[in-house]
Structure 1
Amino acid sequence: MKLAAAKVPVSTVWTSPDAPRDLDAPAVAAAPDVAAWAKSMDTETRLGLHGRTLTQLLLGEPVMVRAERDGWSEILAPWQPSSADELGYPGWVPSAHLGELPVAATDPIAVRVPTAALMAEPGAGAVAELSFGTVLASVDHADGFTKVALPDGGFGWLDDDATRAVQEPAKAEDRIQLGSLFLGLEYLWGGTSAYGLDCSGLIHAVSRVLGQRIPRDAHDQAAALEQLPVDEVQPGDLYFFARPDQKIHHVGFVSAQGMLHASETGKRLENEALTPERRATLVAAARL
């Protein structure tokens, strides 16, 4: 296997090279436009992503490449722990989305706003739009901007107002504040970016910004995190849901209103009271 990194702002991970449909072309292009792709889909076409998409990689995220075929790379994403493979979340991405690892890997900062402009120089025009949850190594600082290391030996600059030091201590209320940035965002199966999130993608992305690496999928999150009684939860904790004799299928942040979560395809990220149906399938809680 060889090491690589995502060199595009968002790369969607697929179940196989044959999984993308014609309408998914913007997502698998050499220079993907994930925002346009997400905007183009209605509920029916979003439902069609089930069994096709798995997760997403963000700029600079490392991967291990274990095979290449017809312009595609079979990868493992170690920043996204998974029971499917002990080395990281498995799947396929276009090989054009991958480059060499950044030259630096220290003092990481995370994009803490929905999208941030990546600049060639401080205060210059944007050369790319980076998603919430993007984590890059900082190598210099000047006048309210941070220089970051990029794949293939490049560098760029981010406004300090758009970033957060990964090592900065996190509070429970930070999870609700960051998750609330996406209220109204339409659910996207496999989404971990500002252009669409699924339930566990929301939890994973917020945790990444706050410096905590947790599994990608809800059932793996429940297995890995500190369990606590459902009646002892506090805002910022997690609720997990499952149907009888089934594995956990849904997760959300406990909130003062009830739960902040990405509901399901056809719905939008919301902060609402638990419905009777939700309470009937509430099976566990955990603390980050």
Structure 2
Amino acid sequence: MKLVAAKVPVSTVWTSPDAPRDVDAPAVAASPDVAGWAKSMDTETRLGLHGRTLTQLLYGEPVVVRSERQGWSEILAPWQPSSSDELGYPGWIPSSHLGELPSSATAPVAVAVPSVALTAEPGSGHLLDLSFATVLASVDHSDGFTRVALPDGGQGWIADSALRSVEAPATAEDRIRLGSQFLGLEYLWGGTSSYGLDCSGLVHTVSRVLGQRVPRDAHDQADTLESIPVEEARPGDLYFFARPGKQVHHVGFVSAEGMLHASETGKLLENEPLLPARLETLVAAGRL
């Protein structure tokens, strides 16, 4: 096994190298166009991702490579805890999406806005657009910009206004504020980027920006995080949902309105009251 890093802004993790369909070609290209891929899919095509996609990796995220096969790497994602493997979330990604780890691993900062330009110099020389929840090590500051360490030994600059230190204290209000940036975003199975989120992906990525490493999947979040009585839940806590005799399948942030969540039923990220049909499956609450 070897430790490397994602060197593309967003790399989608698949159940196998055979899982991508023809329509998924933009997501598995050497320079993936995840934004274009997400926009190209209608509801039926998105639902077809069930059993194909698992999660997503963001730029600079560490990756353990277990094996390689015909241009694909079998990987584990250590930043995404999972009951499937104690070393991290498992799956497959194109090997072309991987590079060497950044040379620095101190003073981490997270992208706290939906997307931001990574530039070669402060404010100029566009390199890439980075997604919300991308975490990189900061190595310098100049005139409102932070220099960050990149995969394969490079460096770049990001506007300070788009960043948050992951070591700064987090509040419940921070969770609601950060998550609310994505109201109206279309649900994406396995999504952990600003181009599409699923329910547990929303919780996982918001927590990452706030310096909290939580499991990737809803049922693991329910099993791992502090459990509290449902009636004691307050904004910024979590609601968990399950059908009788089944594991937790849905999660959302408790909000003043009811719940902020990525709804596969409504197919959008929304902040809405808990309707009777949803309350029927509310089984637990948790605290971050």
Q: Same fold (TM over 0.5)?
A: yes
Supply the distance in 2 between the matched residues of 1:270 and 1:212 (Cα, whole angstroms).
23
- Which residue of the partner structure matches residue 253 of structure 1? 253
- Which residue of the partner structure matches residue 146 of structure 2? 146
Give 3-state SS (helix, strand or coil) of 2:31's partner.
coil
Cα distance per residue 1:137-178 (max 9 Å; x no partner): 000110110000000000000000000000000010000000
- Which residue of the partner structure matches residue 92 of structure 1? 92
Give 3-state SS (helix, strand or coil) of 1:211's partner.
coil
Q: Percent identity?
A: 79
Supply the distance in 1 between the matched residues of 2:231 and 2:87 (Cα, whole angstroms).
35
Give the AA of the match of 1:88: G
Unmatched 5+ residue regions in structure 1? none
Supply the distance in 1 between the matched residues of 2:196 and 2:45 (Cα, whole angstroms).
14
Supply the distance in 2 between the matched residues of 1:266 and 1:277 (Cα, whole angstroms).
13
Instruction: Confirm whether residue 117 of structure 1 aligns to residue 117 of structure 2.
Output: yes
Instruction: Confirm whether residue 169 of structure 1 aligns to residue 169 of structure 2.
Output: yes
Instruction: Confirm whether residue 238 of structure 1 aligns to residue 238 of structure 2.
Output: yes
> How far did 1:127 drift?
1.2
- Which residue of the partner structure matches residue 106 of structure 2? 106
Q: Is the 8 A contact 1:189 1:265 kept in 2?
A: no
- Which residue of the partner structure matches residue 178 of structure 1? 178
Supply the distance in 2 between the matched residues of 1:152 and 1:87 (Cα, whole angstroms).
23
Give the AA of the match of 2:214: I
> How far did 1:125 drift?
3.8
User: Structure 1 residues 265, 95: CA separation in 2 closer, same or farther (over 3 Å shift)?
Assistant: farther
Give the AA of the match of 1:224: T
Cα distance per residue 1:247-271 (max 9 Å; x no partner): 0000000000000000006611000
The number of equivalent residue pairs is 288
TM-score, normalised by the number of residues in structure 2: 0.99
- Which residue of the partner structure matches residue 223 of structure 2? 223
Cα distance per residue 1:53-72 (max 9 Å; x no partner): 00000000001000000000
TM-score, normalised by the number of residues in structure 1: 0.99
Instruction: Select between 56-65 and 124-133 the one with higher mean Cα deviation.
Output: 124-133
Q: Is the 8 A contact 1:43 1:265 kept in 2?
A: no
Q: Is the 8 A contact 1:188 1:265 kept in 2?
A: no
> How far did 1:30 drift?
0.1
Supply the distance in 1 between the matched residues of 2:147 and 2:16 (Cα, whole angstroms).
36
1:121-140 correspondence runs (5 A): 121-140=121-140
1:1-288 correspondence runs (5 A): 1-264=1-264, 267-288=267-288
Cα distance per residue 1:181-229 (max 9 Å; x no partner): 0000000000000000000000000000000000000000011100000
Give the AA of the match of 1:85: D
